[in-house]
Structure 1
Amino acid sequence: MAGPLPNFFIAGVPKAGTTALFNWLAAHPQMNGAYEKETCFFADPDSHAYRADFCVAQGLDTYSTAFPAPTLSTRVTFEATPFYIYSRAALEHIPGLETCPKVLFILRDPADQIASVFDYFQNNYSHIPAGLTFEAFVSAVHQGNGDFKGNELARNALGYADYLPWLMTWRERVGEARMMVRTFDQLRDNPRAICKEIAGWLDVSEEFFDDFVFTKENESYRPRNRALQTLNIAVRERLPKGRVYDMARRLYRKVNTRPVDRAGKAETKAQLRAEFAARNQLLAETFDLDLTNWGG
């Protein structure tokens, strides 16, 4: 093998705080995060994130190049590709890796998660048309008549927010001992507690997070100028990641972004909460989760 393979995955779900969590955990001296948070190596060929030059068909030696060399203190090597929860390739290959990886899923209130997917792929990217309202987006997904430039996370937003069947399938493959399910509410309200819990589960030092400073990451935004955002999307994928990239990213967001408009979604989100209520109750019972905040 050319390098390390992960023994831990953050495998779900999109828009549930996984970027921040990855960065917090990667700061731990005993944890070795991938060069890029989302390797997308186990993306399915029909996924918008699939890369023919970096996928499971290329073999695990290729995959190992996504991770820095371990140090003497490294106990955990990991990545965080949150759509793996839905990926056929991930489900087929990850459970059987020789590292016997543990798998973490962070879940978010379906109404809020769908709204965040909408904001993210309409503004941070351009898969969802700029003029489409949230109500019209949900209606299009219900009717199955939106392709959204091949983005399956937008196209299947409702089915993907029904987390129970996806989690049940993963539990059948990896077993309860190698699987943890937590919520975005826990991550948002007490990041220190959840990071220490994860550290204990992974057998690394929990004390590292005693004085850790937790910062937010990868929040959705609205572009002030969409033409400039279109240029940003085209250019940023071609730039090498690193310090200069991060500085340019911060400058761009300061100049051309503003907070997303959360007005006008309340009625549609209320309808989504009613639609998901029974499934969420079953999810809570099956995985022993406190989902009382998901009611509104």
Structure 2
Amino acid sequence: MLPNWIIIGVPKASTSSLFRWLADHPRAAGSENKETYYFVDPGTHMFSSDSNVRNHGLAGYEALFAHCDPSSAVILEATPSYIYSDTALQELPKLPGKPSFIVVLREPVAQLRSLHAYFQQNWSWIPADMPFGDFIAAVDAGHAAFRGNELAENALANAWYSDHLRRWTAAAGAERLEIVLFEDLVDDSRRVMQRLAGRMGIDPGFYDSYEFPIENSTYVARSALLQSLNIRLRAHLPRGRIYPLLRKAYRAINTRRPASADRDVECERMLAARFAPMIDELEREFGLDLTKWRHPVPRGQAGAVAERQPVAAPAAVAGLDQAGAAAAQPVGR
């Protein structure tokens, strides 16, 4: 059994929550671990010699879905770094059954901010004393390896979404790509999920009373010592049913939601201007309405800028903009 729907991108755009919401549908089944990393490129920090297509072929991939009910209309996984992976690009469109692919896009400045916060606060890939502006400068200069995390190292190129969408359109065909906007997931989770369900051939009515739980939030650790221990241990924990319970217990004890911080408005304005041509490309080539992306930084404001708060359907989406990192065993959930 192989997936017929795969969420391939992008990091920090609520792919973890989207995977959960889809897998909760009675006619859908998800991989036991949201991110299988089975088609990531060798040499990336996510690559595992024990689980990859080059060493284990399609039989190894099928084994990751052995627990799924074969009568499910939708079988899915979600590895958001696939959108950047040459291996995924070469192999996934050729899978038997010709799966379809979901790409969640997020306004690039907000996506970069969230990536920086997640890799710095939930992990230690980005130094704790490196503010957002310095992170962007280091990525731009190409002189920071971020301890081998290529998602941080290539963050700016990765956020030029049109380049990656062109490659996937050429490899899979536009009819097999479903583009979802993160902002729409925040603003009206129910409507987006009902539309996706209809596209997938499963009952949209399931989401009429669905509560939309949030997955994979960015947090701030109360104790740096406990967080350091958590980072060292969690990559070695088995990803069974007990893992989410342990994660929930740890976060209740040692984490809190990030407080609103001062934002580097000048850096964000520079980035907004830099990505403006890419936004034009997305609208022109992929038929997207990206009006919500046009003014990511409030005009005429300096110093502290409050994070955008979602105004959503009854869904509990208060933490949604922190969800959905692309991460591997080292970067996990």
TM (norm. structure 1) is 0.95
Structure 2 counterpart of 1:108? 106
Q: Which consecutive segments of 4 or more residues in structure 1 shift more than 4 A?
A: none
Give 1:240 shift: 2.2
Q: Given the alignment of the two structures, is residue 98 of structure 1 paired with residue 100 of structure 2, yes or no?
A: no
- Deviations 1:108-158 (CA, angstroms, capped at 9, x unpaired): 011010111111111111111111111110000010011001111100000
Corresponding residue to 1:29 among 1, 26, 29: 26
Give 1:246 shift: 2.1
Counterpart residue type for residue 198 of structure 1: L
Q: Given the alignment of the two structures, is residue 38 of structure 1 paired with residue 51 of structure 2, yes or no?
A: no
Structure 2 counterpart of 1:222? 220
Give 1:248 shift: 2.2
* Runs of 5+ unmatched residues, structure 1: none
Distance 1:147 1:194 in 2: 37
What is the DSSP-based 3-state SS (H/G/I as helix, E as strand, rest coil) of the residue aligned with 1:52? coil
Checking the alignment, whether the CA contact within 8 Å between 1:222 and 1:257 is kept in structure 2 is yes
Distance 1:176 1:165 in 2: 14
Structure 1 counterpart of 2:169? 171
CA shift in 2, pair 1:291/1:70, >3 Å: same
CA shift in 2, pair 1:226/1:215, >3 Å: same
Distance 2:243 2:70 in 1: 29
CA shift in 2, pair 1:155/1:72, >3 Å: closer
What is the DSSP-based 3-state SS (H/G/I as helix, E as strand, rest coil) of the residue aligned with 2:168? helix
Checking the alignment, whether the CA contact within 8 Å between 1:35 and 1:68 is kept in structure 2 is no
Structure 1 counterpart of 2:307? none
Distance 1:69 1:216 in 2: 24
What is the DSSP-based 3-state SS (H/G/I as helix, E as strand, rest coil) of the residue aligned with 1:79? strand
CA shift in 2, pair 1:100/1:264, >3 Å: same
Q: Given the alignment of the two structures, is residue 158 of structure 1 paired with residue 156 of structure 2, yes or no?
A: yes
Q: Given the alignment of the two structures, is residue 50 of structure 1 paired with residue 67 of structure 2, yes or no?
A: no
TM (norm. structure 2) is 0.85
Checking the alignment, whether the CA contact within 8 Å between 2:30 and 2:68 is kept in structure 1 is no
Checking the alignment, whether the CA contact within 8 Å between 2:132 and 2:264 is kept in structure 1 is no
Mapping for residues 193-272 of structure 1, pairs under 5 Å? 193-267=191-265, 268-272=267-271
Structure 2 counterpart of 1:14? 11
Moved more, 252-261 or 83-92: 252-261
Distance 1:89 1:115 in 2: 27
Moved more, 96-105 or 68-77: 68-77
What percent of counterpart residues are identical? 41
* Runs of 5+ unmatched residues, structure 2: 297-333
Greater relative contact order, per chain length (Cα 8 Å cut-off, separation 6+): 2
Distance 2:215 2:235 in 1: 18
What is the DSSP-based 3-state SS (H/G/I as helix, E as strand, rest coil) of the residue aligned with 1:106? strand
Checking the alignment, whether the CA contact within 8 Å between 2:133 and 2:264 is kept in structure 1 is no
Checking the alignment, whether the CA contact within 8 Å between 2:14 and 2:182 is kept in structure 1 is yes
Corresponding residue to 1:77 among 72, 75, 83: 75
Counterpart residue type for residue 108 of structure 2: P
Structure 2 counterpart of 1:138? 136
Distance 2:270 2:66 in 1: 45
May I ask how many residue pairs the two structures share in their alignment?
293
Counterpart residue type for residue 237 of structure 1: A
Counterpart residue type for residue 13 of structure 2: A
Counterpart residue type for residue 161 of structure 2: Y
Distance 2:87 2:257 in 1: 35
Moved more, 156-165 or 231-240: 231-240
Counterpart residue type for residue 277 of structure 1: A
What is the DSSP-based 3-state SS (H/G/I as helix, E as strand, rest coil) of the residue aligned with 2:8? strand
Structure 2 counterpart of 1:285? 284
Counterpart residue type for residue 39 of structure 1: T
CA shift in 2, pair 1:159/1:72, >3 Å: closer
Structure 2 counterpart of 1:181? 179
Checking the alignment, whether the CA contact within 8 Å between 1:32 and 1:68 is kept in structure 2 is no
Give 1:245 shift: 2.4
- Deviations 1:153-207 (CA, angstroms, capped at 9, x unpaired): 1000000000001001100111111111111001111111111111111111112
Distance 2:112 2:104 in 1: 14
What is the DSSP-based 3-state SS (H/G/I as helix, E as strand, rest coil) of the residue aligned with 1:94? helix
